[in-house]
Amino acid sequence: MKRLIATGERARPVEFAEDAQPVPAADEALVRVEAFSVNRGETFLLENPRPDLRPGKDVAGLVVRAAADGSGPGVGMRVVGHPPCGGWAEYVAVPTHSLAVLPPAIGSTEAAALPLAGLTALRMLRTAGAVAGRRLLLTGASGGVGHYLTELAAAAGAEITVVTASPERGRRLAELGADVVHDLGETRGPFDVVLESTGGTALPVALSKLAAGGMLIWFGQASRTPATLDFFDFFNGPEGAVIRHFHYAGAPYGPDLDTLVTLVGSGRLHPEIGRVADWADTATVLVDLRERRVRGKAVLTVGGPR
């Protein structure tokens, strides 16, 4: 079968290679991949790749071999999955606890945009707690996580302000109910919850916007610049505030994927897909994603549009 492997080259970070079809473990289903999405964090891993790197964590496709232990979906079922690796290929083995069955109304292209970004947004909102009537601030909002989080938070009754680099990158976020700004320093706090994904100089500015008793959740460093905090400023600032690190990871993913699929199927969540291309163009799409030329999610189809 074909799979994409890392080259270590900045201009063309992946290329096709022939590989053996994966042999699933007893609790894994073999999925024929119809579409996969790529994430900006994965582009950074490709810059200095490990020799054994097999990228790909967001897939949708068809089960062609059910798990030997009898768990999970059967042969012929369409699924969305979040494997630990190896999804940029014609076939991937996925633990059944990290699969969700797709209804006929949701295509593979749409489904493939859900896992990492959708799981991050869903689990981060749980970390934030009840948001109805609360003021939220989200930095670096124009990617997949930002669109999902904005729609979910607004639907839950939050008053959400998002920071994007340009009006175009914030257009859809405004439609989803956000107040869009382009300069973090100009946001009008204080905010009950600050969700910070940029790092660098943005983190201390975001912290200064936090209300007394509020929570800052740090979940990324998109700027790739280390952040420095002056804790004297923090202790002299919002009384009783909390700084918390967040990372979405932790199987099982299946129940939360089911939730995301249900929300999409009922029209309450809309994947924002800024680029769809054949997987022959994956290298170009990865470069554009790394250089912030894609708004929302980028999805690659395997064997034609789905």
pLDDT in tens, 249-287: 999 999 999 999 999 999 999 999 999 999 999 999 999
| Dihedral angle over CA of 216, 221, 223, 229, nearest 10 | 50
Contacts 24+ apart (CB under 8 A), 69-74: 69/26, 69/27, 71/27, 71/96, 71/97, 72/27, 72/29, 72/96, 72/97, 72/99, 73/29, 73/99, 73/101
Residue 304 above 80 pLDDT? no
Whether residue 131 is found in the same domain as residue 188: yes
Predicted structure pTM score:
0.95
Q: Is residue 195 part of a domain?
A: yes
Structural domain including 134 reads: 124-245
pLDDT band at 150 (very low <50, low <70, confident <90, very high): very high
% of the chain with per-residue pLDDT over 90: 87
Residue 237 above 80 pLDDT? no
Q: What pLDDT, in 10s, does the model give residues 47-101?
A: 999 999 999 999 999 999 999 999 999 999 999 999 999 999 999 999 999 999 9
What's residue 226's pLDDT?
85
Whether residue 142 is found in the same domain as residue 69: no
Number of domains in the chain: 2
Q: What pLDDT, in 10s, does the model give residues 22-47?
A: 999 999 999 999 999 999 999 999 99
What's residue 228's pLDDT?
83
Which residue, of 208, 227, 245, is where some domain finishes? 245
pLDDT band at 306 (very low <50, low <70, confident <90, very high): low
What's residue 224's pLDDT?
84
Q: Is residue 185 part of a domain?
A: yes
Whether residue 161 is found in the same domain as residue 68: no
Whether residue 177 is found in the same domain as residue 204: yes
258 CB-near residues (< 8 Å, 6+ apart): 100
Q: What pLDDT, in 10s, does the model give residues 204-231?
A: 999 999 999 999 999 988 888 888 888 7
pLDDT band at 305 (very low <50, low <70, confident <90, very high): low
Q: Is residue 260 part of a domain?
A: no
Query: Which tokens in the block code for residue 180?
Result: 């869009």
Q: Is residue 261 part of a domain?
A: no
